[in-house]
């Protein structure tokens, strides 16, 4: 941000109540996440409140980082924050938006508001690609299009620009009205109208009206011809209908020919022509149109490093956000920045260095051309950034831990969405426990558990003590419930502050002995009661004996009582689940009468959270549901898949009629056939039972059946009539074949598939 506000400016805008005024420094930037603050001098901190986190809890941390100016909405003790200024307002987000609105009004150049169900970020980035050499362009960073993201995007506006591209996204009624008021776009682009968030609106007509509200004051609004608008709607937004025939002059030279790219490009080119880009300019830009991954790629690197691969461009404004993201993930790791300089970026080196230095990384390395990394970097979080011309993807690939073409993509944005979906079913006071056993269901413990902690989850659950120990060594501070605590792990439970589930008198006795030996009192334990699963757990009839032991042994204290539902995904009958819930309620009620302190009660799992929300008790447990997998049709429409399993072709071969393929020659070609070999097999988790046409993959959205036997490290697929080659991308699990469909083919369930994907399959994390 390049702000320049005085305290009096902020006071005039916010109209808030001044609690104390002892700091008069100029405000140069705004912050709401302490993890992104490198130097708090001249920073105004907003204590935002949300579904999972309350910014007021981080005021002390912000103060320690040098922040002295705060906007709050809750009453707090400010007596210990010397030389600080506090302004209290009704709603900190609304106040931040008001500042953004005021900031936007300072600039007279055109603001382009971009909205739609999908394609906003792609359209924005491609417009930037077409315009940046002719215009000075500001654009929303990454996919910043929420109520908060739009405000932050507007605060990036500055006088040295000719045009700004601002994404505007909504998920609920009345949100667009607020965004339109603060953005006040000059021109509009409506990318698409689909089903995203439709469940939050009364009907499709209301949903469309809300979207169109973005363009209320626009001089012109470009909308794709697939969006059906009536004449009144078109008139209100000064609509210009865009057809894909708009691309006829340049379609043959476009690097992408898929339907989505053509759809979005038609809007981009129409707007570029509107801004008088000549045909020659359009053709030149179209030839070099970049492929947009759109999100930073985070992966495990060699020598204990974590790599942030953000090598699409070296835009000065975007660099700031990349550095903030690195700071967010770093925690105790050293931060290293590697910058690839082409000729254009070399001219900006002074400005680039100034931004990087403000974040105080341990090391910054500048590279030119194909210059190699000559020094060894260990145990660091490395941000790799540079333009496409600098070819920094090669540098990023050098840092990958494993050279394996098969990888698992974990979409943390989808995971965040799914947490919000489940949270929407809960009462404000209900706690949320996230299960991260079996390496977070195969998605990777380190990144996922750390991500969940930052989302404001209250508890983590693991199967065994060693999983909890691993989390503690990674720096996880949340309470951790060990579901299957064994005698061999009791010492580790105590050493690493893990909370064991106790399911039998023998186990309870052994744990108490361990506590006596360690000199511990009032150690938290969780009682597991069997209400019908018929696995581990005390019987309800054990209640009196349990209470007698607890009253006699001061070494332990009940933290929670819980049970497992056996039939919560049975949509034909709720009887058994309600029986379990009633048994559980009775047990807890009677236990409460026997002991003189409160304890947490929880029985609902992922499937039960939406169906039995009247029985939340004090906490719910969220497992595979947060990855987007459920039997509940209501949830399926709003949850997003988190796991994508991908690979690429190693080799393509022509098989003549009569030839056989694979072990035991179980496939014999009935005609000349083209096959592709994929480097994934049953050792990776692609089940051998998927041999001989039972299993399949997708290439360029085309179904490709498995032929022959699945091998340990590879499989063969039929690609007859497809234009593929070595390196062509392969989807194993994704949008064409869901996790549920893959599991059905393997005659199992998503749990087994996720947890059986080998650790040698590289994990890549997407966020931003």
Q: What is the largest CA-CA distance in the chain?
A: 87
Residue 651 tokens, joined: 């080799």
Which residues, at least 6 apart from 719, have a Cβ–Cβ distance to it below 8 Å? Answer: 649, 652, 674, 675, 676, 699, 704
Residue 589 sits at φ, ψ, to 5 deg, of -60, -45
Burial of residue 680, with CB atoms counted within 10 A of its CB: 0-12 exposed, 13-18 middle, 19 or more buried? buried
Q: Which of 653, 711, 705 is nearest to 684 (CA)?
A: 711
110 SS3 class: coil
Q: Sign of the C-alpha dihedral, residues 661, 666, 670, 673?
A: negative
Q: Locate 345 and state its tokens.
A: 């970026």
CA-closest candidate to residue 163, choices 55, 271, 74, 266: 271
- The three-class DSSP label of residue 757 is coil
d(CA 1, CA 728): 41
Which is nearest to 92 in space by CA: 116, 76, 108, 111? 76
**Is the distance from CB of 298 to CB of 764 less than 8 angstroms?**
yes
Q: How many angstroms separate the Cα of 508 from the Cα of each of 8, 489, 556, 557, 645?
A: 62, 13, 9, 12, 42
Catalytic residue among 437, 601, 646, 737, which?
437
Confirm if 564 and 433 have CB atoms less than 8 A apart: no
Q: Is 663 a catalytic residue?
A: yes
Q: What is d(CA 106, CA 159) in angstroms, rounded to the nearest whole number?
A: 9
Long-range contacts of 606-609 (CB under 8 A, 24+ apart): 606/422, 606/630, 607/565, 607/568, 607/569, 607/631, 607/632, 608/565, 608/568, 608/577, 609/422, 609/425, 609/426
Encoded tokens for 567: 């039939």
Cα 200 to Cα 470: distance, rounded to the nearest angstrom? 40
Under DSSP, the state recorded for 52 is S
Distance of CA 382 to the CA centre of its chain: 20
Pairing verdict, β 499-502 and 556-562: unpaired
Annotated catalytic residue within 663, 729, 747, 759: 663
Q: Which residues are catalytic?
A: 437, 663
């Amino acid at each position: 941000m390049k702000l320049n506000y005085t305290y009096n400016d902020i006071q005039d805008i916010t109209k808030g109540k001044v609690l104390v005024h002892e700091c008069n420094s100029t405000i140069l930037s705004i912050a709401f996440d302490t993890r992104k603050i490198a130097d708090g001098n001249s920073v105004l901190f907003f204590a935002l409140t949300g579904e999972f986190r309350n910014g007021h809890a981080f005021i002390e941390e912000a103060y320690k980082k040098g922040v002295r100016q705060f906007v709050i909405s809750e009453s707090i003790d400010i007596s210990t924050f010397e030389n600080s200024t506090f302004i209290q307002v009704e709603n900190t987000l609304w106040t931040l938006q008001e500042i953004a609105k005021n900031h936007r009004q300072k600039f007279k150049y055109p603001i382009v508001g971009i909205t739609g169900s999908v394609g906003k970020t792609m359209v924005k980035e491609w417009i930037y690609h077409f315009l940046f050499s002719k215009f000075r362009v500001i654009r929303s960073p990454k996919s910043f299009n929420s109520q908060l993201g739009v405000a932050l995007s507007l605060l990036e506006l500055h006088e040295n620009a000719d045009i700004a591209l601002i994404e505007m996204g909504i998920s609920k009624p009345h949100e667009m009205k607020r965004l339109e008021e603060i953005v006040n776009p000059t021109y509009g682009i409506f990318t698409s109208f689909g089903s995203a968030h439709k469940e939050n609106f009364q009907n499709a007509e209301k949903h469309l009206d809300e979207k169109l509200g973005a363009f209320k004051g626009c001089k012109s609004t470009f909308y794709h011809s697939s969006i059906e608008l009536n004449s009144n709607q078109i008139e209100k937004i000064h609509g210009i209908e865009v057809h894909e025939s708009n691309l006829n002059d340049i379609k043959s030279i476009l690097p992408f020919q898929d339907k989505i790219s053509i759809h979005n490009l038609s809007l981009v080119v129409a707007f570029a022509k509107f801004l008088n880009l000549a045909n020659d300019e359009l053709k030149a830009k179209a030839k070099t149109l970049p492929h947009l991954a759109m999100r930073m790629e985070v992966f495990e690197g060699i020598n204990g490093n974590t790599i942030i691969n953000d090598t699409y461009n070296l835009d000065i404004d975007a660099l700031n956000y990349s550095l903030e993201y690195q700071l967010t993930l770093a925690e105790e790791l050293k931060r290293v920045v590697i910058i690839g300089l082409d000729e254009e970026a070399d001219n900006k080196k002074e400005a680039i260095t100034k931004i990087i230095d403000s974040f105080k990384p341990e090391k910054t390395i500048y590279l030119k051309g194909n210059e190699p990394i000559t020094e060894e970097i260990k145990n660091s979080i490395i941000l790799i950034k540079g333009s496409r011309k600098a070819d920094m993807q090669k540098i990023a690939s050098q840092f990958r831990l494993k050279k394996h073409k098969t990888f698992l993509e974990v979409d943390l944005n989808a995971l965040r969405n799914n947490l919000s979906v489940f949270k929407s079913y809960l009462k404000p006071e209900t706690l949320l426990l996230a299960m991260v056993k079996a390496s977070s269901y195969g998605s990777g413990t380190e990144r996922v558990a750390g991500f969940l902690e930052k989302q404001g989850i209250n508890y983590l659950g693991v199967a065994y003590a060693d999983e909890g120990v691993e989390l503690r060594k990674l720096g996880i501070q949340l309470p951790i419930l060990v579901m299957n605590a064994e005698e061999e792990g009791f010492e580790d439970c105590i050493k690493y502050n893990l909370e064991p589930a106790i399911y039998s008198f023998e186990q309870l006795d052994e744990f108490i002995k361990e506590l006596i030996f360690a000199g511990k009192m009032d150690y938290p334990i969780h009682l597991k009661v069997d209400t019908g699963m018929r696995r581990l757990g005390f019987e309800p009839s054990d209640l009196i004996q349990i209470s007698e032991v607890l009253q006699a042994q001061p070494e332990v204290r009940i933290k929670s009582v819980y049970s497992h539902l056996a039939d919560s995904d049975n949509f034909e009958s709720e009887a058994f689940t309600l029986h379990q819930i009633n048994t559980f309620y009775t047990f807890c009620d009677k236990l409460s009468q026997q002991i003189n302190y409160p304890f947490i009660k929880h029985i609902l799992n992922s499937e039960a959270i939406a169906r039995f929300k009247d029985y939340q008790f004090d906490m719910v447990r969220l497992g595979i549901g947060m990855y987007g997998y459920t039997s509940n049709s209501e949830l399926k429409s709003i949850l997003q898949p988190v796991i994508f399993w991908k690979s690429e072709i190693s080799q393509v071969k022509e098989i003549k009629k009569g030839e056989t393929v694979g072990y035991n020659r179980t496939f014999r070609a009935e005609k000349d056939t083209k096959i592709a070999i994929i480097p994934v097999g049953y050792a990776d988790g692609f089940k051998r039972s998927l041999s001989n046409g039972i299993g399949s993959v997708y290439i360029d959205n085309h179904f490709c059946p498995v032929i022959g036997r699945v091998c340990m490290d590879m499989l063969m697929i039929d690609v007859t009539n497809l234009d593929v080659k070595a390196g062509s991308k392969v989807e194993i699990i994704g949008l064409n074949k869901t996790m549920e469909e893959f599991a059905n083919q393997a005659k199992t369930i998503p749990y087994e598939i996720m947890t059986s994907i080998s650790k040698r399959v590289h994990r890549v994390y997407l966020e931003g």
